Amino acid sequence: MDKTILAEMSWKEAENRMKQARAVIVPLGSLEQHGYHMSLQTDNIVGEYVAGVLAKRTGCVVLPVLPYGQVWSAKDFPGTISLRERTFIEVVKDIVTSLEHKGARNVILFASHWGNTAPAKIAARELLDESGYTNVYYLSYMDLKKHGKGIMETELWNGSGFHAAEIETSIVLHIRPESVDMEKTVCEYPQVPGDVNIRPVPWITFCESGIFGDAAKATAEKGRRFLENWIEDLVQLIEANIL
């Protein structure tokens, strides 16, 4: 039995491990479109993998991925499921409260979907204000420019957009290649709506495929190298700040 996966333990084993472990990691994923070439569960695949590696390397335990997230931007694509931000925050708070009541030393909210980053931070703030929990941490999504330096070949859409393109596809090619159909990859850099930064603009109104960038440039080797950079950064953050 893997001593880092809480769901595989009996309740008695879980009770002991939660109290011993540095932290309980809660991966926050989504069911969201990722172009024509990757599955709806892409963020869950990445979240499960990265959280599992972090647990092993830092003495933590990990919960199953929360498979639904805040996905407003892509919610109109078939198959995408989006929780309202307040719903998502309350679910996360309930999970953390359950862990706190059972003696978890620390809780790490790990967002493997960009849309979960801000509401996870709000949840941690509210848990501090309402319950005095000072031991709830949030690890945000990847820093694409930092972790992709020397790896990424393609340009970002609108300076930051990369959804389902070169790097994200490369990560899944390394983790679970059978979940990627490279024959269906496309390159799409949709025209940037003039008001995209000043009002809500659903992606489906200006993006045909659902991706931002060139997925055809993805390779498993790029994914491996990117993951090494990203995970090493997260390990250092945990070891330096969560005792």
Q: Which of 33, 28, 30, 81 has its CA nearest to residue 215?
A: 33
Q: Which of 62, 89, 114, 118 has its CA nearest to residue 238?
A: 62
Contact 106, 139 (CB under 8 A): no
**CB atoms < 10 A from the CB of 228, how many?**
13
* 107-138 confidence digits (pLDDT tens): 999 999 999 999 999 999 999 999 999 999 99
Structure confidence at residue 145 as a pLDDT band (50, 70, 90): confident
Q: Which of 189, 223, 228, 220 has its CA nearest to residue 206?
A: 189
**Average pLDDT in the chain:** 96
Contact 113, 32 (CB under 8 A): yes
Please check the confidence at residue 141 and state whether its pLDDT lies above 80: no
Average pLDDT over residues 185-204: 96
* 76-107 confidence digits (pLDDT tens): 999 999 999 999 999 999 999 999 999 999 99
* 22-46 confidence digits (pLDDT tens): 999 999 999 999 999 999 999 999 9
Strands 187-188 and 213-214: antiparallel
Please give the model's pTM, rounded to 2 decimal places.
0.96
Please check the confidence at residue 193 and state whether its pLDDT lies above 90: yes
Token representation of residue 184: 């269906």
Contact 215, 166 (CB under 8 A): yes
DSSP 5-61: BGGGS-HHHHHHHHHHSS-EEEEE--B--BTTTB-TTHHHHHHHHHHHHHHHHHT-E
Provide the pLDDT for residue 95: 98
Average pLDDT over residues 188-199: 95
Provide the pLDDT for residue 1: 61
Give the separation between CA 28 and CA 112, rounded to whole angstroms.
6
